[in-house]
Amino acid sequence: MNYRKLGKTGFEVSEISLGTWQVGGKWGSKFDHDLAESIIREAIDNGVTFIDTADVYSDGESERAVGEAVRRSGKEVRIATKCGRQINPHVNKGYTPAILRGYVEDSLKRIGTDCLDLIQLHCPPAEVYYRPEIFGEFEKLKQEGKILNLGVSVEKVEEAIKAIEFENVTTIQIIYNIFRQRPHEKFFAMAREKNVGLIIRVPLASGLLSGKFTSETRFAPGDHRFFNRNGMKFDKGETFAGVPYETGLKAVARLKELFPEGLPLAHVALKWILMREEVSCIIPGASSPDQIRMNLEAMTLPPLSAEQLSAIDKLYEEDIKPLVHQLW
């Protein structure tokens, strides 16, 4: 395992870590604690030292599973969770210091700890970034010993830029992959200058960049890849990185032609991200222990060549950028 510094948190984290949106099984299925335990344990046993969860993942069951698995492992693993998405309707006026403090208290109980390593605002509405009292409340929680660090999970580059104006924001979680390249244009350098850790989510564009999907692939009704392609439930950029499905399939077919047959495209996609030194860690999800091992194998892939990187850039410019670049 390779490790990188998570910005000004000071944490040394595994460059390929674990996101737990789907850790208890497939999207839309009943949460399976035994399966979650096996996935998380596989990750920890293979050197993963950073796990990301959220209070809304499986109605808190993900937090419980992560906390329990980390305790059982007896190893030092940093747990990041998120809050804010429970607010319904999810609008600016629903965000108050008292409500967010309550969410932190609830997460502490579910994870089973006295202090959260990292609490992140979970893709808040744009207006929240202009309310210092919200960010100030987390500074109070830090002084009280209930959190060590505050981060923000964002949808848009502009939100990330605004968030890091607050000195107590130590990390930004952002979508970044071969189909979502805008963050590296300006924001990555800004984050590095402020020593803000970058946590990369949706690295495989909801599985599109695994190269395993076809036009015949069917997703279950409870899977966001079925019900959220046009943003019916939350920001559509969370699903396939906002790229229209059929367009994504055609781009993936072009990507495959750039690499030897038999080389997992997922490894290429993860390695492409890891070649950015500004990135602290990637948090791909996993619905089985086998997927954990597959994700971690990406670290063994040699760096992509200049020719391969140039070809990826060309594909993005021609097929993807005109459709999505300025949206996020």
Q: Find where tokens 């309707």 sit.
A: 89
Active-site residue, selected from the candidate residues 3, 57, 103, 130: 57
Question: d(Cα 295, Cα 282) in Å, to the nearest integer?
Answer: 10
What b/e string do you get for 143-167 counting C-beta neighbours within 10 Å, with b at 16 or more? eeebbbbbbbbbbbbebbbbbbebe
Write out 173-185 in H/E/C secondary structure.
EEECECCECHHHC
Q: Which of 61, 67, 71, 74 is nearest to 22 (CA)?
A: 61
Do strands 78-83 and 118-122 pair parallel, antiparallel, or not at all (unpaired)? parallel
Pairing of strands 197-201, 169-175: parallel
Are the C-beta atoms of residues 44 and 292 closer than 8 Å to each other? no
Residue ranges in the chain assigned as alpha helix (H) = 33-45, 61-73, 97-111, 132-143, 157-163, 187-193, 224-227, 245-256, 265-274, 289-296, 306-315, 321-324
**57: annotated active-site residue:** yes
Q: Which two tokens stand for residue 52?
A: 């990301």
How many whole angstroms separate alpha carbon 186 and alpha carbon 200?
16
* Closest among 113, 33, 86, 57 to 285, alpha carbons compared: 57
Kindly list the catalytic residues.
57
